[in-house]
Structure 1
Amino acid sequence: MANHKSAEKRTRQSQVRRMRNRTNRSKMKTAIKGLSQAIEAGSVEEAKTALAAAVPVIAKTASKGTIHKKNASRKISRLTKRVNNMETGA
């Protein structure tokens, strides 16, 4: 338990940031899950739409600092690759 005023403030700030990060991460994971379901369903148009919705969410999560920008880039790249492979039938 914090004993100093500054430590109490740091605890409050950490809790607020934790909840904000958790919300952002949850939104990102929901968008990715929707895309994965569209890919598994085999619908190319649905997958493209879901990808177009998921990419900005992932990028925004990185810009907020919740995840690293290279982590976001890697996620976007892999998801785009999966959708593109769906199109070609590979």
Structure 2
Amino acid sequence: MNEKASPDRLQGQLIATNVLIEAVLRILPAQTLKAIRQEFEKNGPEVGGLLLSTPGSEAMLDAYRSSIESTQDLLTQMHQKAIFRDSAAGKL
């Protein structure tokens, strides 16, 4: 299999990954989500920085940056929901 990467293909894969991530995040405890969010906030931009030094199109880098931002937003939203859910259930 010798498939070429394209911005549209990458964007589609990143969207599919975010859908999967959201499904998994919905069941995690708030403390776990907090740790994941903190780790992602540290590592996500680092990977973006590494991409700057590799050959590729600006569109692919933009797609990655967009994905990082949307994933950070998703993690924040899911963490907040988990805090309310766990608090209501007396787990915090």
Q: TM-score, normalised on structure 2?
A: 0.39
Bigger CA radius of gyration: 1
TM-score by length of 1: 0.40
Q: Which has the higher contact order (CA 8 A, sep 6+)?
A: 2
Higher helix proportion: 1
